A and B are shown apart, each in its own frame.
Chain A
Amino acid sequence: MRKCYFDHAATNPLHPQVFDAMIPFLKEDFGNPMSVYDLGIRAKMAIENARTQVASLINAKPSEIIFTSSGAEANNFALRGIALARQNEGKHIIVSKMEHHSILNSARFLEKMGFAVTYLPVDKYGLIDPDIVKKSITKETTLISIIHASSEVGIIEPIKEIAMVAKEKGIIFHTDAVAAAGNISVDVKELNVDLLSMAAHQFYGPKGAGALYVREGLRIVPLIYGGIQENGRRAGTENVPAIVGMGKAAELAKAELSARMGSVKKLRDRLVDGILKVENVYLTGHPTDRLPGHASFCVEYIEGEAMLLLLAARGIYSASGSACSSKALKASPVLLAMGIPASLAQGSIVFTLGTDNSDDDIKYLLNEFLQVITRLREISPYAKGWGVWRKVDNVFRKSNGPFYKPQECW
């Protein structure tokens, strides 16, 4: 059976050159970078080389990069580290409803510690309005954290404009660029951000490697205490092979960025055009301001998990909203924040493309998708309006049509 991987937002396969770069550090170059003899020195040099490669991808200085175990750790570190470092100046932080759980749950943790948190609303595309950010700022605000690009609906937020709002008020600004870094151009100087999170496996690097960019001179409270690794800001013996892999992946992403973006965008556009030909399927997120390889939809009358499983049985790997929402069988909070009704949000399906996808993959997906949708709608009570009560002329009646008829296309 044909296998097509359309879940690059979940993770990516290792680039062969990344794999080759990592191998020596899984074998003969196993030294601890803290050791003073040659084995340790080689490991330490490899880490510093990776730091330069990662810094170069986002136009930062190597000393501004702190390696972490993941994008989630980088997000936790940024939110807690800055909120705690600045708590004498104020105890209010701003995040948006588009954020990943590593930001939202860190914000909830801070709320339990006595911080006030504003969760910014978004429009129907998932876009955050810089004016709303501005209006949410209080005298107590010390930190604003906004996602750069959403892995759920692909939207690219106006980070530069929001960072400017934060700068005008002297507030620290963090962006979660896990889905963006390595997939679109990300320049910390141009964006004017103070902190930025990234993860290697989002750009063909290994899992278990992430990084937090911290602007030079910014104080941050460590998340992990222990030794002097990462200049005393993140303790723990370094995951040398993963860090080396992240460095190589960053170097390749920088060199190949425009080619990668061009090829996945072309396929993505073909995929979107094909899928939107199916009745009652809506694109989620913005039609143009979105990650180049990202295509997300809500399919009416069908539950996302059912689509996932049937597609997977045909060798097509995709996602339904965020991994956490999918596991919890809950409608995605991001889709709900965009105003999509819960019934429609349950039918969320996300295809994220990578460099390993081809034209034939898209053809195969479009063909199988239509069959899967048709099959599932045949057995869906919602498609026929069974058992659904609607308020008609102020009286609840059994529906004889679709439960939900959207007013407009998302």
Chain B
Amino acid sequence: MYMKFIENVKADVTTDIVYMMCPMHLLKLEEKLKELDEGQILEILTDYDGALEDIPGWCAKTGNEFLGLEDSGDYYKFYIRKTAR
């Protein structure tokens, strides 16, 4: 799986889980996506390295679109578009 880097994405909702460890990135991803409408974009801020593999993998498994990530130095910004119900 290759990593896609993107910039200047306008997210509909942001969730900040910097300093939180596994499995908070997956729990928050699922919890927050439930609150979004189809087509909306979720931004997750995390410094957990495991998310680099887990978030794209979770999106592939659940049918949501992993748009990419931005490395802001201290933490990553992941962008996910809700495409599955």
- Residues of A in contact with B (beta carbons under 8 Å apart): 85, 88, 217, 219-222, 225, 228, 231-233
Partner of B24, one of A217, A221, A228: A228
In the complex, B52 has a CB within 8 A of chain A: no
Q: Are A232 and B17 in contact (CB under 8 A)?
A: yes
Q: Does B74 contact A (CB under 8 A)?
A: yes
The answer to whether B19 and A85 have CB atoms under 8 Å apart is yes
Residue of B nearest to A81 (CB): B19
In the bound complex, CA of A244 to CA of B60 (Å) = 41
Which partner residue on chain B sits nearest A219 by CB separation? Answer: B18
Q: Which residue of A lies closest to B18 (CB)?
A: A219
Tell me the minimal C-beta distance from B44 to chain A in angstroms: 13
Q: Closest 3 interchain pairs by CB?
A: A232-B24, A232-B20, A221-B19
Q: For the complex, would chain B's binding face be called helix, strand, loop or mixed by DSSP majority?
A: loop
Contact residues in A for B19 (Cβ distance below 8 Å): 85, 219-222
Task: Kindly list chain B residues whose C-beta atoms are within 8 Å of the C-beta of A232.
Answer: 17, 20-21, 24, 27
Contact call A88/B24, Cβ cutoff below 8 A: no
Q: Complex formed: what's the CA distance from A232 to B51 in Å? A: 15
Flag if B16 contacts A228 (CB, 8 Å).
Answer: no
Q: In this assembly, does B63 line the interface, its C-beta being within 8 Å of a C-beta of chain A?
A: no
* A88 partner residues in chain B, CB cutoff 8 A: 74
CB–CB B18/A228 < 8 A = no
The chain B residue with its CB closest to the CB of A235 is B21
Known: A88-B74, A228-B27. A233 touches B16 (CB 8 A): no
From B17, B21, B23, residue with most partner A Cβ within 10 Å: B21
Q: Which residues of A contact B23 (CB under 8 A)?
A: 228
Closest approach, in angstroms, between the C-beta of B16 and any C-beta of chain A? 7
A interface, over-half SS: loop
- Beta-carbon contact of B74 and A222 below 8 Å: no
Please state if A222 and B16 are interface contacts (CB–CB under 8 Å): no
Q: What's the nearest-Cβ distance from chain B to residue A219, in Å? A: 5
| CB-based nearest B residue for A218 | B16
Interface pairs (18), CB distance under 8 Å: A85-B18, A85-B19, A88-B74, A219-B16, A219-B18, A219-B19, A220-B19, A222-B19, A222-B20, A222-B21, A225-B21, A228-B23, A228-B24, A228-B27, A231-B24, A232-B21, A232-B27, A233-B20
**Min CB–CB distance A194 → chain B (angstroms):** 15
Beyond A88-B74, A228-B27, whether A217 also contacts B21 by CB under 8 A is no
Contacts of A221 in B (CB 8 A): 19
CB-based nearest B residue for A225: B21
Task: Tell me the smallest distance from the CB of A218 to a CB of chain B, in Å.
Answer: 9
Question: CA separation between A254 and B3, bound complex, in Å?
Answer: 52
Q: Which residue of chain A lies nearest to B75 when distances are taken between CB atoms in the complex?
A: A219
Query: Once the chains are docked, how many angstroms separate the CA of A219 from the CA of B46?
Result: 11
- B residues near A217, Cβ cutoff 8 Å: 16
Q: A220-B19, A232-B21 are in contact. List 20 more A-B contacts (CB 8 A).
A: A85-B19, A217-B16, A219-B16, A219-B18, A219-B19, A221-B19, A222-B19, A222-B20, A222-B21, A225-B21, A228-B23, A228-B24, A228-B27, A231-B20, A231-B24, A232-B17, A232-B20, A232-B24, A232-B27, A233-B20
Which residues does chain B contribute within 8 Å of A225, judged by CB atoms?
Answer: 21
Q: How far is the CA of A74 from the CA of B33 in the complex (A)?
A: 31
Which A residues are CB-close (under 8 A) to B17? Answer: 232
Query: Within residues 1 to 45 of chain B, which ones have a CB less than 8 A from any CB in chain A?
Result: 16-21, 23-24, 27
